[in-house]
Homo-oligomer: A and B are copies of this chain.
């Protein structure tokens, strides 16, 4: 481990935490975040510090850091800005290794406060401790069960790491994980980055066995050369997915008052990202779509995509999306066509996308997918229109015709057929080690998330996307990343 990575480890794996500013008053951050820390499954010791209380939320409290008769690895600080320098001095005296500063009111509100931030950094370096923040939202570290954020979010343990210069954007990433039951290894709301910067956390994530994918929200970078040097090294090992805030004049102005960041040229930044193998995204949904897919999908060997669709229009739309994203739709080879002739009606389109012809025989969907995915010239696949039973089940069950027919559903639109499809698609993806991305209207319907078919995909970590272009965009990023790894 490099020096900074070792030092940052005290932030992610502290044996003990002093919570300076822990409070009994609902509404105070010192109450809310401390409560969330206690609600989390943190496996170390916790010491609230508050000169006016004997206990906070049932935990014995100390008048000052110095009064704690045990070692303290991490100090979580929720007291206001004007006391932060004093507290940092106390932390050094106590031998604290890492400090989290929640309070706002630094360089983001006045130019002169940037001096205060510089002082924080220089005290940190003199005292050999690391500082996260200020103006931040908290930390998650799954390895020790630590989760202490402003909102009551308790994401499950997993392999996505987050570093965000915005607490609420960081939370937006967590929300998407919680929605899809996909877990996180680490989460850092890095705030104003007075001391530790995004690239430091990214360097740590690069060496972190718990982390397989890194997501980052960045408004500004203090040391561009260092950032991209770190990123270039890390992207050789694991993907970095980055959303840049402040790429326009309006956005840059908002960023200045948010984290005090000065955004540089958006074009230069985007070009540096490409060179460093960083995957740039346009919004939060896209970020999570891609991050989660890196966890559950094999990387494609090349640009050749095969498509199976339950409807022609979706096939057209996904073909457009593939073209726009730089993916290739090869013509089907003669042996693929003759194999498909065996399972599809004679008038099938004999092209790629393969249209399984409007649901007349939905079992053909899986057979077509298998024929496609086992073909040498196909590197990846997109399947459109699965999970139909999730959409129509209710209509039939409440119909007066229900009692008259045992099999009212359209053939192959039954839940059991959808389950068979899910099982087979997961099997094919794993057996042939090729990514299979899925999109369907069924994913639009909130209730379908509760549906057993979606549960099966979710257990495999697969998000079924609501539109073909979302699935295609993800596949393109997987493909481009694989190309980057091969070329570098």
Contacts and interface: CB of A to CB of B under 8 A. Distances in A.
Which of A26, A152, A248, A322 counts the most chain B CB atoms within 10 A?
A152
Interface residues of A, number: 102
Contact of A254 (B137, B312, B449): B312
A39 B399 contact: yes
Given A285-B467, A313-B164, A316-B251, A392 B258 contact: no
Contacts of A246: 316, 319-320
Interface stretch (A69-77, A165-173, A366-374, A480-488): A165-173
Nearest to A247: B320
Contact of A249 (B323, B391, B442): B323
A99 interface: no
Interface in A308-335: 310-317, 319-320, 322-324, 329
B444 A176 contact: yes
B104 A358 contact: yes
A245 B320 contact: yes
Taking the full assembly, how many copies of this chain does it contain?
A: 2
Given A314-B166, A320-B245, A401-B38, A109 B347 contact: yes
Given A35-B408, A407-B26, A395 B444 contact: no
Interface in A361-401: 385, 388, 391-392, 395-396, 399, 401
Contact of A314 (B104, B168, B178, B179): B168
Interface of A: 26-27, 32, 35, 38-39, 57, 104-105, 108-109, 137, 150-154, 164-172, 175-176, 178-179, 217, 219, 243, 245-251, 253-255, 257-259, 282-285, 310-317, 319-320, 322-324, 329, 347, 349-351, 353, 355, 357-359, 385, 388, 391-392, 395-396, 399, 401, 404-405, 407-411, 413, 441-442, 444-447, 449-450, 466-470
